[in-house]
Copies of this chain bind each other. A is one copy, B any other.
Amino acid sequence: MEDIHYTCQWGTGQRWGDKPTETGMSRLALSDADKEARDWFVETTKALGCHITVDSMGNIFAVRPGLRNDKPPTFIGSHLDTQPSGGRYDGILGVTAGVEVLRTLADNWVETEYPVGVVNWTNEEGARFPMSMVSSGVWAGSIPLETAHNLREVGPNSTATMASELARIGYLGGVPASHSHIPMGAHFELHIEQGPLLEMSNKKIGVVTGVQAYKWLTVTVKGRDTHTGTTDLKSRADALLAASKMILHSHRLASAHSALASTGILNLKPGSTNTVPGEVTFSLDIRAKSDDTVAKMKELVLSDFPAIAAGENINGIQDDCTPGLPCTVDIVEDFDSPATNFHPDCISVVAQAAHSVLGRDSHNLMMEMTSGAGHDSVYASKRCPTSMIFVPCREGVSHNPAEFCKEEDCALGAQVLLQSVVRFDRL
């Protein structure tokens, strides 16, 4: 808990309560605040006897030697970057719990069979550079290094890229970001659930068996800039009106398909009260349990959005607006994360650890679950046995300054993490 709150001096966000620690976080990837948190991670793990490797995505691997070093380390991984209006637990809990595992091993003179490592993955959130889990994605060979390096910061007039920001803060490492250069024996990740299921059912530990599927699209609608006072409704190609209809429609589709659809970014041009916007760009995040449902949602977006732009009434829904001139729409898929199943060995190691930590009543205090959010464990799982440990967070709220996880729950999660690593190391 000390490490969590100490490191949250870098990028402190909005206050939600009176106590000193009752604030959110705003530590965008590769910002100055992120550099400070990284420097702390490097110094702290070095002091605990680790070797540090920084790769070409700025991922930082801290490895504590084992009795034998002829097999790859068992890794703990998560991320120190946050959302622009995020909390103190998402990602941060996972890294600081990893440091706590290293500290516990050191304090108790524990020697593991094989090395144990902790990795801080870069830009997991995808908030500043709009591709989540991008650096574990490069490490796994799923995302080309060049694509990642060229990712531009979110914002209408941004020029910073991942490569330029890595260089600027001094974390553009020389080692290739690749599982073949930095292999892992396993990857465990402790994380707040970010949803309400554990809290609602009074459980303490989630044994995570997989992650739902998702895709990120960028939608660009083009109409025509015109005067709001002199252009009658019939003569407008209003890109924002069309975009509003699309956003509403994406929610209709999600409702009909038990999926999720969300728009978190929207920029328009030219941005003047008395000019009908000629161009609107927005993000669309689509999620569902199965790849098929996400694919179906995308298919419907690809067929329905152009029809909405052209002014047609979709599915017989009359919007009672005067028809205007047609807009055009362009839809690009930026990111795709298919549904993920974690490794049975790691799942069962986490379950055993949870039973052991939770004691007699363990069956009532834990459950298997899938994750609604993506995590670096998704990409790690493509190259090594992987699983995750979830702990409850208040009201299931995350990506919000008021995100909160009780101290006792953080501690339980960290104990399960420690045991999982030690058990896997034996295995």
Bound form: Cα–Cα A345–B244 in Å: 47
Partner of A273, one of B232, B233, B285: B285
Q: Is the CB of B399 within 8 A of A252?
A: no
Decide if A65 is an interface residue (CB 8 Å cutoff): no
Query: Is the beta-carbon distance between A277 and B254 smaller than 8 angstroms?
Result: no
Instruction: Please report A residues at the B interface, Cβ cutoff 8 Å.
Output: 83-85, 125-127, 130, 132, 154-155, 193-196, 212, 214, 216, 224-233, 235, 238, 240-241, 243-245, 247-248, 251-252, 254-256, 260, 262-266, 268-278, 283, 285, 287, 317, 319-322, 371-374, 396-401
Contact in complex: B85, A230 (CB < 8 Å): no
Tell me if B255 and A322 are in contact (CB < 8 A): yes
- Kindly list chain B residues whose C-beta atoms are within 8 Å of the C-beta of A132: 273-274
A350 to B243, CA, bound (A): 43
B126 touching A273 by the CB < 8 A rule?
A: yes
In the bound complex, do residue B321 and residue A252 qualify as a contact, i.e. CB atoms below 8 Å apart? yes
Contact partners of A224 in chain B: CB under 8 A: 397, 400
- Across the interface, do B260 and A373 meet the contact criterion of CB distance under 8 Å? no
* In the complex, residue of chain B having the shortest beta-carbon distance to the beta carbon of A127: B272
- Knowing A85-B225, A275-B85, say if A195 contacts B264 (CB, 8 Å): no
* Partner among B193, B232, B238, B264 whose Cβ is within 8 Å of the Cβ of A277: B264
Q: Is there an interface contact between B372 and A126, defined as CB atoms closer than 8 Å?
A: no
Known: A238-B262, A278-B400. 13 other contacts (CB 8 A): A84-B270, A126-B272, A154-B271, A212-B229, A216-B273, A224-B397, A227-B399, A230-B398, A233-B255, A240-B264, A248-B248, A263-B277, A265-B268
Query: Taking the full assembly, how many copies of this chain does it contain?
Result: 2
- Known contacts A194-B227, A248-B241, A251-B321; is A85 also within 8 Å of B269 by CB? yes
- CB distance A241 to B251 under 8 Å? yes
CA distance A353 to B247 in the complex (A): 52
- Given A248-B321, A274-B126, does the pair A226, B398 have CB atoms closer than 8 Å? yes
Taking a contact as CB atoms under 8 Å apart, the answer to whether A228 and B274 are in contact is no
Task: Name the B residues within 8 Å of A83 (CB-CB).
Answer: 225, 270, 272, 274-275
Is A252 within 8 A of B319, CB to CB?
yes
Assess A274 versus B248: contact at CB under 8 Å? Given A195-B230, A229-B287: no
Could you pull out 17 A-B pairs where Cβ atoms are within 8 angstroms?
A: A126-B272, A126-B273, A154-B272, A225-B401, A226-B398, A228-B287, A229-B260, A229-B285, A229-B287, A229-B372, A229-B374, A231-B260, A231-B372, A233-B255, A240-B264, A254-B322, A265-B271
How far apart are A295's CB and chain B's nearest CB, in angstroms? 17
Inter-chain contacts of A276 with B (CB < 8 A): 262, 264, 399
